[in-house]
Amino acid sequence: GQPQSYFLTKEKSTVVGKDKSRKVPGSETPGDHVVYAWDNFLRRCPAKRVVIVAHSAGGAGTLHLVRHRFEEVKRRVTGIAFTDAVHRFLHTDTPEMRAFMVERCVDWVASEAPLGTAMRRAHDGIRCVSAS
């Protein structure tokens, strides 16, 4: 078959093929897409330990997943690597959810500091280090 590309926009998720495109069910928003991928691919995967790498808006998608599949995520996800990711706790996030994120996440951010230098982050407690 013809190669297909997949992309997400704020409006919709679309698969593009030769002279046609179609919406991807369950991927109406980027956050919904992450949950869809978990439900339809990772849930079926026999791996007991999963590590997530989330760049930029992928951070918000990852938090959406944590909020909607927390019991499964806390059992299987052993680490989350953010790379200049957008992520923010909500007032509805439970203390257990926040503790999980603080314990298992690291956010690598652009900086002139040497690689791995601890960077200041006061708003959420997630460890933040230089990616340079």
Query: DSSP code of 118?
Result: B
Helix axes 58-68, 95-104, angle to 10 degrees: 130
CA distance linking residue 12 with residue 1, whole number of Å = 24
Is 56 assigned a catalytic role?
yes
Q: Which of 5, 13, 27, 56 is catalytic?
A: 56
Which segments of the chain are extended strands (E)? 5-8, 13-17, 20-23, 50-55, 77-83, 105-109, 127-130
CA distance linking residue 10 with residue 130, whole number of Å = 29
Query: DSSP code of 26?
Result: T
Q: Among all residues, which ones are annotated catalytic?
A: 56
